[in-house]
């Protein structure tokens, strides 16, 4: 399990003073990038090795609102992984209370856009995610 922290900025709120729903997708991405960095599998390194990993699906459920200056703790974890796809889960908490849960699904492609069997071509990456 990996936990990333994000403090809600004023510009991330709407007219009602609530964190705008679209920002949670950004928070997921920030946390995912930090998680991959922490295990030595940064996007920069993966892309330098010829692998791209686009988001192909995303889902989220809003449980409670957050506001300016709230400190969010974003738990990031691997939900599942197959030869061609990676599903990452996220639980966002504020003050110990769960405010959002979601996941993102990613595939692995070479630079020409063809699917890569990550287990065969990059077993070290798979091992880092386990």
Distance linking the first and last C-alpha atoms of the chain:
11
Q: Break the chain into its structural domains and give their ranges.
A: 2-129
pLDDT tens digits for range 44-97:
988 998 899 999 999 999 999 999 999 999 999 999 999 999 999 999 999 999
Write the CA distances from 16 to 5, 10, 103, integer angstroms: 23, 12, 26
- Rounded mean pLDDT, 85-113: 97
Whether pLDDT at 129 is above 90: no
Single pTM value for the model: 0.93
130 CB neighbour count, 10 Å cutoff: 7
* Domain range 2-129, its CATH number among 3.30.70.260, 3.30.70.270, 3.10.129.10, 3.30.420.40: 3.10.129.10
Residue 36's pLDDT is 94
- Closest to 106 in 3D by CA, of 53, 62, 64: 53
pLDDT tens digits for range 3-51:
999 999 999 999 999 999 999 999 999 999 999 999 988 889 889 988 9
């Amino acid at each position: 399990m990996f936990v990333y922290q994000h403090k809600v900025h004023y510009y991330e709120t709407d007219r009602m003073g609530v964190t705008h729903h679209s920002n949670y997708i950004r928070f997921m991405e920030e946390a995912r990038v930090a998680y991959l960095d922490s295990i030595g599998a940064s996007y920069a390194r993966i892309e330098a090795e010829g692998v791209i990993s686009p988001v192909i699906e995303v889902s989220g459920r809003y449980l409670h609102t957050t506001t300016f200056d709230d400190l969010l703790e974003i738990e990031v974890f691997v939900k599942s992984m197959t030869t061609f796809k990676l599903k990452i889960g996220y639980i966002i908490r504020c003050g110990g209370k769960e405010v959002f849960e979601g996941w993102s699904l990613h595939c692995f492609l070479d630079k020409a856009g063809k699917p890569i069997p990550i287990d065969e071509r990059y077993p070290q990456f798979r091992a880092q995610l386990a």
